[in-house]
Copies of this chain bind each other. A is one copy, B any other.
Amino acid sequence: MVSIKDIAKKAGVSISTVSYALNGSPKVTEETSSKILAVAKELNYVPNAAARTLKKRETKIIGAFLTDFDGAFYGQLLQGMKEVLNKKGYDLIVCSGSQSHRLLPERTIDGAIVLDASFSSEELLQYADRGHKLVVLDRELDHPNVNQVLLDNKAGATLAMEYLIEEGYRKIYVVTGPQGSFDSNQRLQAAKQTIERNQPLESDERDQSIEYIEIQGNFDKTGGEEAAQQIIKEYTEPVAVFCLNDEMAIGLYNVVKDSSYRIGEHIHVIGFDNMELSQFVQPRLATIDYSKRKWGALASEQLLKLITDEPVEHERIYVTLIKAGSVHPMQSM
C-alpha cells in the first residue's frame, strides 16, 4: 500500500510537506505542491480512511438504519437523505439488523438516522449519552444529541377516519401495527378520537352511532390477510376498514379478491403511506400520502446540524389524503 511516506521519499520532501500539499494547505510552495501531487497521481495514492479517521475523529459517513431491506417503501426516503448528505460531502450507507449497530459506537459513522425497530430506545439513549448524534424517524426521544423528524400521524389518521365517516360508514374496522410501534399507536389514538368526536349526541336519535372494531395487525401483508378473514366472517353490511399502513391493505386485498365480496363495494379500504404498489392495485387504494424524499432530506439536514452543533428543533412531515376507488360513498339508506 502506498502511503504519504512513499510519496515523500519519491518526491524528496518530508511527509508533513506531503500531507500539507495533499490537503491544499497554503503553507507549501506552488512548485513543490504540484510536484507532490504529480507523484501522488503517479503512485496511485489513495488516503487510508482508518488512519485519517483515527486522527481526525470523523469519517464523513452517515448511517441509515432500517428494520429491513425489503420495504418497497424506502427508495425515495434514502434518495432524499443521500442528496442532502452528498451535497455536504458526506456519504450515506444503509444498514439493517442488530449486528450492524456496532458501527455507531465503534465510530465507523459520524451519525445515524434511525427507522428501525431493532433499536430499543434505551440503546439509542446510551449512544446519545456517549455523544453520538442521532435522528429518529420512528419514535419520540428526548435528548440533546437526538432530533426527531416524525410523520404527522395524527393528522393522517384523522383525515382517513373523517373520510370514511363522511362517506357514510357507521361500522369501521381499524387494523393496527405491531404492539410497540410508535406510528401505529399514534394513528390508532387519533382514529379513536375521531370516532368519539363524531359520535352522535345521545339526544339525537336520527344519527346512527358509529361502531368501531379494532383488529391487531403487524404492518405486514399477513396482518391484512388475517384481518380480511375476520371481516369477511363477520360481514353483514358494507363496512369500512382503515389499515394503519398500505402494506396491510394490500394483504387485505389479496384475501378479499378470493371471496365473494368486492373492495370499494362491500369492503371499503383506506391505507397509510401511499406506497408505489398502492396505485396499481384494483381499485386504486385510498391512502394517506406524504413526501418520502422530503422526509429523508429533512432528516439528513437535522443530523448535519446536530453534528455541527447548530441549534435544531424537532420537525414534522405533513400528510394529505388521497381519495380513490377503494372507498365508494355508502348507498343512501
- A-side residues, CB < 8 A to B, are 44, 46-51, 53-54, 59, 61, 63, 68-72, 74-76, 78-79, 82, 86, 91-97, 99-100, 102-103, 105-108, 130, 250, 276-277, 280-282
CB distance from A78 to the nearest CB of B (A): 4
- Distance (whole angstroms) from the CB of A261 to the closest CB of chain B: 17
Cross-chain contact A100 with B106 (CB below 8 angstroms): no
A72 to B46, CA, bound (A): 34
Given A100-B92, A102-B91, A107-B48 in contact, is the A280-B250 Cβ separation under 8 Å? yes
Taking a contact as CB atoms closer than 8 A, the residue among B46, B69, B72 that contacts A106 in the complex is B46
Q: Given the complex, which residues of B lie within 8 Å of A106, measured CB to CB?
A: 46-49
Q: Which of B47, B91, B277 contacts A100 (CB 8 A)?
A: B91
Question: Contacts A72-B72, A93-B95, A100-B91: A105 and B46 contacting too (C-beta < 8 A)?
Answer: yes
A258 to B115, CA, bound (A): 38
Q: Assess whether B78 is in contact with A75, with CB atoms less than 8 Å apart.
A: no
What separation, in Å, do the CA atoms of A47 and B277 have in the docked complex?
43
A97 to B74: give the CA distance in the assembly, Å.
16
Chain B residue numbers with a CB within 8 Å of A53 are: 50
Nearest B-chain residue to A60, judged by Cβ: B102
Q: Which of B49, B95, B102, B277 contacts A280 (CB 8 A)?
A: B277
The CA of A100 and the CA of B106, in the complex, are separated in Å by: 20
In order of increasing CB-CB distance, the 3 nearest A-B pairs are A70-B75, A49-B106, A50-B53
Are the CB atoms of B49 and A108 closer together than 8 Å? Answer: yes
A72 engages B276 (CB within 8 Å): yes
- Taking a contact as CB atoms under 8 Å apart, the answer to whether B61 and A69 are in contact is no
The answer to whether A99 touches B71 (Cβ under 8 A) is no
Question: Which residue of B54, B82, B280 is within 8 Å of A97 (Cβ)?
Answer: B82
Within the assembled complex, what's the spacing in Å between the Cα atoms of A103 and B108?
Answer: 12
CA distance A89 to B233 in the complex (A): 47
Is B91 touching A103 in the complex (CB atoms < 8 A)?
A: yes
Tell me, in angstroms, the Cα distance from A93 to B280 when the chains sit together.
31
